[in-house]
Chains A and B, each alone.
Chain A
Amino acid sequence: MYEFKYHRPSTVRQAANLLAKHEDAKLIAGGHTLVPVMKQRLAAPSDIIDLSHIEGVDGIEIKGRSLVIGALAKHADVASSPTVAEAIPALAELAGLIGDPAVRHKGTIGGSLANNDPTADYPAAVMALGATIVTNKRKLKPEEFFQGLFTTALESDEIITKVSFPLPKKAAYQKFRNQASRYALVGVFVARLPSGVRVTVTGAGQDGVFRVEAFEEALKKRFLPKALDGIDVSPDGLNSDLHGSAEYRAHLIGVLAKRAVDAANNRA
């Protein structure tokens, strides 16, 4: 790990100021992405701004018809929260599938979204549920927030403070894990919302999370696994590696989407 200066702000505003002042600064929350990358010397931030001591940004609560999760909420907190289990059980299950128990005790929802790893789980839920990503400066819709591989709309002094999830009628997440890394080889999140149906895929796309509009249209008419019969996903733009070809991933998307619809129906 290269040398860096360490800062510990106690408010989001202080953190944003530090971020604006130091060009090569990086935020750290749980550190479970940044620390490994720094250890491999793939990143050499001049300054590390530790968000973990900022209070009041890790709460989980229902506000109106939304579930609001603070950016510093840990995966383990979301997975075990009775509020989440009641409001959006699919989200609690998704959080419980991230990493392993010790990783879930440190990793945060804000960190996961800001990093936008193409195999991360949270982006699928955020985009499928049409959640709003709230920062110290503005509110962002998933379609504008996620901008491809490890890329987001966040500006250089912008910090995610919370995520607001509208409550779906039904939702489920199905993850097919890479047997070695346990990351999503393909993950599919299906949500039936008052406004329609959204189907998102993580792990498979070369540009990160994406929607499958053909599935959404079919499921809008009939929210049943059978509705997806005969609709193929194109392998174009999907990842291909030693764990699975693009064609294999395309096929898995269909299989997992059906399972997710089934799971969502069986829960309600």
Chain B
Amino acid sequence: MAKVSMIVNGNPVAKNIDPRTLLVQFLREELRLTGTHVGCDTSQCGACVVHLDGKAVKACTTLAVMADGHEVKTIEGLAADGAPLHPMQEAFREHHGLQCGFCTPGMIMTAIDIVHRKGHDLEDHVIREELEGNLCRCTGYQNIVASIAAGAKAMENSDLA
């Protein structure tokens, strides 16, 4: 067993876990934060993307012990219960950026990471290139790209990062 402690969505958590535990398992099974999904389990589909110290990573390919002492943000951490949605979430709702919704949490976490690195004015081809690590099984990319472009602009005037 290994002891891990980290800040998840602003809250300190500490658990004893098997070192084999993946970060995505830790979030879903230990912390019951089931918004982070497991799609392919081979680092390709991006349904498991969370932020580790503010950067998008694949939680299915990260051991939870490697996140020890670090800060993790999941889809649940974007907007508090009952509070208005994060601008990127709102943009996905507004622009029909989700079909079945399975890839959506990873798409949104990746989208916010894109904005952090590339700014608020995103051209479509930049968004499409940056989405290389996120797959939508409904192939609904048109609206996802539109959502991210709109969400990126909306984030400029929002307090929520």
Contacts and interface: CB of A to CB of B under 8 A. Distances in A.
Partners in one complex: yes
Contacts of B58: 32, 102-103, 106
A31 B20 contact: no
A131 B117 CA distance: 29
Interface of A: 1-6, 8, 28, 31-32, 35-36, 39, 48, 50, 52-53, 76, 80, 99-103, 105-106, 182
A28 B66 contact: yes
A102 B66 contact: no
A1 B56 contact: no
B145 to A, nearest CB: 15
Given A36-B43, A102-B110, A50 B61 contact: no
B83 to A, nearest CB: 27
B132 interface: yes
A211 B114 CA distance: 36
A31 B114 contact: no
Contact of B20 (A4, A32, A36, A100): A4
Interface in B108-126: 110, 113-114, 117
B95 interface: no
A76 to B, nearest CB: 7
A101 B43 contact: no
B63 A35 contact: yes
Contact of B133 (A5, A53, A101): A101
Given A32-B43, A100-B133, A76 B65 contact: no
Contacts of B63: 6, 28, 31, 35, 48, 50
Q: Which 5 A-B pairs have the closest CB atoms?
A: A100-B133, A6-B19, A100-B132, A105-B55, A102-B56
A53 B46 CA distance: 25
A204 B20 CA distance: 34
B42 interface: yes
B66 A36 contact: no
A31 B19 contact: no
B90 interface: no
Contacts of A48: 19, 63
Contacts of B143: none
A248 B2 CA distance: 50
B46 A100 contact: yes
Nearest to A4: B19
Given A1-B20, A35-B63, A50-B65, A102 B41 contact: no
